[in-house]
Structure 1
């Protein structure tokens, strides 16, 4: 009898701890999925190949979003790119490197809600809705060819780019260290937790990938312990129109977008898709 009570007590304690951990995960989702960085990575960002100007746009609900618009100095209309950053990424560095990454293209890089100088709190539904708004806004610029606008997403932002590409007439897609879903990665990390019942921000790109009709270029890090290649494999297998799936030598999850090799590959792919001279 005593042994039965002990077993029941241990089981009850384990259940309480398990539920407590699940509740903690639910409460800390903002930090687990998002890690807003408010500090500007580049103090005075300016592209050597563009006119660069800071912009403040309002989301559909009035939230202020801050970023940069880079425009080629020659007369347009130009092809365009909307860039979506990673989990901890403040995007001022894109304005600095736009001349190498996106030569001859108009570029819009805006921080997510809660990142940089953007107001509000990050959430999947807001990121996707804001992403659609940013795409539409760039297409409406008089110096941009609305039929030649691409989306580029890095890591967490690959999930935003995929959903925007599913709902808009995107010309081309670049995905840097993309994943099948944040839910799948969370399940891998919290194997004994009922994560599927508490995770709100799932970014299930693998569900939307078959709907993508634009040529999609995937770039992986050679060493990636944040998005294992197995999670990228599952996404790539579902993409509606895969252009290429490449590994950038000597790259990891954090340094891949800053490497000259990565930037040259993206510039070459987009220039070819847009019919621009090769950089």
Structure 2
């Protein structure tokens, strides 16, 4: 009887701890999925190949979003790129590196809600809705060719880029260290927690991948302990128009976008695709 009571007591404690841990995951999921960086990575960002200016745009609900617009010095219309950053990424560095990453292209890099000088709180639905708004705003600029607007997403932002590409006539897609879904990564990390019941921000790119109509370039890190290659494999296997799936030598999840090899390859892919003017339709 005593042993039975001890077992029951231990089971009861374990249940309480499990419930408590699950509740903690549910309550803190925004912090687990997003890690807003307020401080600028580059204090006074300027592209060597563009005219750079700070822009402040309003989301559909009035939230103020802040970032940078970079325009080539020569007269347009130009092909263009909307950039979506990672979980902890403040995007001022894109303004600094745009001359190498996106030569001859107009570039819009805006911080997510709660990141940099952007107001509000991050959430998947806001990121996707804001991303569509940014695409529309950029495509409407007089110096931009609306038929040649690409999206580039890094890590968490790859999920934003995929969903924007589903809803807008995106010309080309670049996904840097992308994943099948944040839900799948969370389930791998928290095996004892019913993540599917508590996670709101799922970023399930794999659900949309087969319907992407734009040529898609996947760039992986040689060593990635944030997005294991198995999670990228699942996404790649579903992509509707995979152009190339490539690993950058000597790269990891953090340094990959800054490496000259990465920047050269992305610039080359986009230049080649933009040379092929073609109609695209939203999915």
Give, in whole Å, the separation in 1 of the partners of 2:249 and 2:202: 29
Task: Look up the match of 2:162.
Answer: 162
Aligned residue-pair number: 276
Long gaps (5+) in structure 1 = none
Report the equivalent of 2:280: none
Q: Secondary structure at the match of 1:37?
A: coil
2:150 alignment counterpart:
150
Please state how far the C-alpha of 1:221 moved relative to its aligned partner.
0.1
1:32-43 mapped onto 2 (5 Å cutoff): 32-43=32-43
What is residue 68 of structure 2 aligned with on the other side? 68
2:137 is equivalent to residue 140 of structure 1: no
- Aligned match of 1:20: 20
Which residue is 1:4 aligned to?
4
- Once residues 36 and 110 of structure 1 are traced to their aligned partners in structure 2, the CA distance between those partners, rounded to angstroms, is 13
Give the superposition deviation at 1:13: 0.7
Counterpart position of 1:262: 262
What's the CA shift for 1:253?
0.1
Aligned to 1:77: 77
Three-state SS of the structure 2 residue aligned to 1:67 is: strand
Partner of residue 273, structure 1: 273
In the alignment, is residue 45 of structure 1 matched against residue 12 of structure 2? no
Shift of 1:161: 0.1
Matches of 2:274 and 2:193, distance apart in 1? 46
1:31 CA drift (Å)? 1.4
TM, length-normalised to structure 1 = 0.98
Give how far 1:159 is off.
Answer: 0.2
* Distance in 1, Cα, partners of 2:171 & 2:114: 29
Distance 2:34 2:223 in 1: 22
Which aligned segments of 4 or more residues in structure 1 are displaced greater than 6 angstroms?
none
Alignment partners' CA distance in 2, 1:275 and 1:162: 22
Pairwise CA distance, 1:176: 0.2
1:108 alignment counterpart: 108
Note the alpha carbon deviations across 1:26-50, whole angstroms, 9 max, x for none: 1111111000000000000000000
Deviation at 1:133, TM superposition (A): 0.3
Cα distance between partner residues in 2 of 1:209 and 1:56: 31
Partners of 1:5 and 1:57 in 2: how far apart? 63
2:191 alignment partner, SS class: coil
Q: Which runs of 5+ in 2 are unaligned?
A: 277-283
Aligned-partner Cα distance in 2 for 1:274–1:208: 23
SS in 2 for 1:26: helix
1:151 & 1:145 partners in 2: Cα distance? Answer: 14
Q: What SS class does the counterpart of residue 170 from structure 1 fall into?
A: coil
C-alpha distance in structure 2 between counterparts of 1:199 and 1:16, whole Å:
20
